[in-house]
Amino acid sequence: MRGARGVAALTGSGVSAESGVPTFRDAQTGLWERFDPEELATPEAFLRDPKLVWEWYSWRRELVARAEPNPAHRALADLERRVPSFALITQNVDGLHRRAGSRNVIELHGNILRTVCSAERLPREPGEGAPPRCPRCGAPLRPDVVWFGEALPPGAMEAASEAARSCEVFLCVGTSGVVYPAAGLPREAAGAGALVVEVNPEPTPVTPLAAFALRGRAGELLPALVAAAFSAG
């Protein structure tokens, strides 16, 4: 990476696992184990049971608020300072990359620490339940995150695709690589000639695209990778 002009990184919940924020599909801690995704991260679930969805996100928001960036987040922020061009594309909604010092961060799935008025994105009022009300219009608030079936923030995917197509090294860290459109980025990078490096304890659909598949935890491997890349001075 030392000589690379452009580096891009795609991160998933695995990069925050060592900060104590549970991943979604990991066998050990997979939250989906306990809930059917349809029960939580969809507009239909929120309309059907706003109390369950709001309470699950409130619980996760408290976890995120207590979490601290780990060495993986800090290594990516360090890398951004060392290369001429760097883009951090994250599926995570925990805001930990920015808290670690990363600046060029593309949050594909929003940010759980923000709330928005549900009237802006939902076709009708949800049923009775927990969410607080919008101070402007009185509609229930919802987490400012992208639910399954919803559009990504305007421009986010375009910026992410541009970064994937123009980088020389594409890091894919802590993602199961199964949720599109983010999961298409490693192939886009590889197709444009980037060297793909995966950091994950487990193989994923990204692994066949990777020139290097580093098996282990991001909190250990990323600092070592950045140090090795720049140790020659």
- Give the active site residues: 109
Q: How many angstroms separate the CA atoms of 16 and 161, rounded?
A: 23
38 vs 125 by CB, closer to ligand APR: 38
Q: Give the residue among 127, 91, 128 at the shortest CA–CA distance from 112.
A: 91
User: Binding ligand APR by CB under 6 A: which of 1, 14, 67, 197?
Assistant: 14
> E strands within the chain?
6-11, 85-90, 105-107, 110-117, 141-145, 169-173, 195-199, 212-214
6 vs 201 by CB, closer to ligand APR: 201
200 binds ligand APR (CB under 6 A): yes
Burial class (CB in 10 A: 0-12, 13-18, 19+), 103: exposed
User: Binding ligand APR by CB under 6 A: which of 33, 44, 68, 202?
Assistant: 202
Provide Rg for the chain, Cα atoms: 18
Contact string 76-115 vs ligand APR (x = CB under 6 A): ---------------x-----------------x------
Number of neighbouring beta carbons within 10 Å of residue 227: 11
User: Binding ligand APR by CB under 6 A: which of 10, 13, 115, 122?
Assistant: 13
Residues lying near ligand APR in the complex (CB under 6 A) = 12-14, 17-18, 23-26, 91, 109, 174-176, 179, 199-202, 204, 217-219
